[in-house]
A and B are shown apart, each in its own frame.
Chain A
Amino acid sequence: GAGVSQSPSNKVTEKGKDVELRCDPISGHTALYWYRQRLGQGLEFLIYFQGNSAPDKSGLPSDRFSAERTGESVSTLTIQRTQQEDSAVYLCASSLEGAGGTQYFGPGTRLLVL
């Protein structure tokens, strides 16, 4: 079956512009996660959605970052007024369950802020 998909695969933007990244989770997966991987570093948790519960936004690095999810489907991560330090690969993952569940990762969106 189809895995997690993300778009765009690559995005180059100018400092100060807004960007929107999209994630399509595996159908039926109630949990959805966003992570960021900056060059030479491990993955950092950003935000978590579980069904209709309030999202866990504890990993968002600043108020320029926000994310939405419609029900148990598509999610978008928005970065406003991008900065060069936002350059990273943004990964989305989905899971059938929360804690302990296997997370299935998408291919990522590589964001470069000039």
Chain B
Amino acid sequence: AQSVTQLDSQVPVFEEAPVELRCNYSSSVSVYLFWYVQYPNQGLQLLLKYLSGSTLVESINGFEAEFNKSQTSFHLRKPSVHISDTAEYFCAVSPLYNQGGKLIFGQGTELSVKP
């Protein structure tokens, strides 16, 4: 079985400040890792994912996440946030084999960027 823990339910930051949203997971099998984002009044959409290769993955809007196998973590970071980054962020894992790609989600972190 897999589980995902997002350590912060709410993260308030000022515009242009750096931010880190923490995600730890537990799994007895290898997993793919994802961050999904839900902007206000919009549907859930993929932000970035780690499948294999380089452990550092980036999104098109400046977020990055690093897969750390020894610490079973996949923290999301951005060096300078914008008001438009205000959203709820969900970390998720998916077993590599035999489970069809179902996602196991954390409880979400609400990022609130203030001017």
Q: Which residues of A contact B (CB under 8 A)?
A: 3-4, 31, 33, 35, 40-45, 48, 50, 56, 59, 91, 93, 95, 97-108
Contacts and interface: CB of A to CB of B under 8 A. Distances in A.
Contacts of B94: 99-100
B105 interface: yes
Pick from B6, B45, B102 the residue with the most CB of A within 10 Å.
Answer: B102
A103 B107 CA distance: 18
11 contacts: A42-B106, A42-B107, A43-B90, A56-B99, A56-B100, A93-B44, A98-B100, A100-B51, A101-B101, A105-B44, A107-B43
A97 B94 CA distance: 13
A25 to B, nearest CB: 14
A57 B90 CA distance: 23
9 nearest A-B pairs in the assembled complex, by CB-CB distance: A98-B101, A42-B107, A42-B105, A105-B44, A99-B101, A43-B105, A45-B102, A48-B100, A98-B100
Contacts of A102: 46, 49
Given A41-B107, A43-B90, A43-B105, 5 more contacts: A35-B103, A93-B44, A99-B100, A105-B36, A105-B44
A31 to B, nearest CB: 6
A48 B102 contact: yes
A4 B105 CA distance: 20
A69 B28 CA distance: 31
Contacts of A108: 43
A28 to B, nearest CB: 16
A43 B103 contact: yes
A100 B44 contact: no
Contacts of B102: 33, 45, 48, 56, 59
Contacts of B101: 31, 33, 48, 95, 97-101, 103
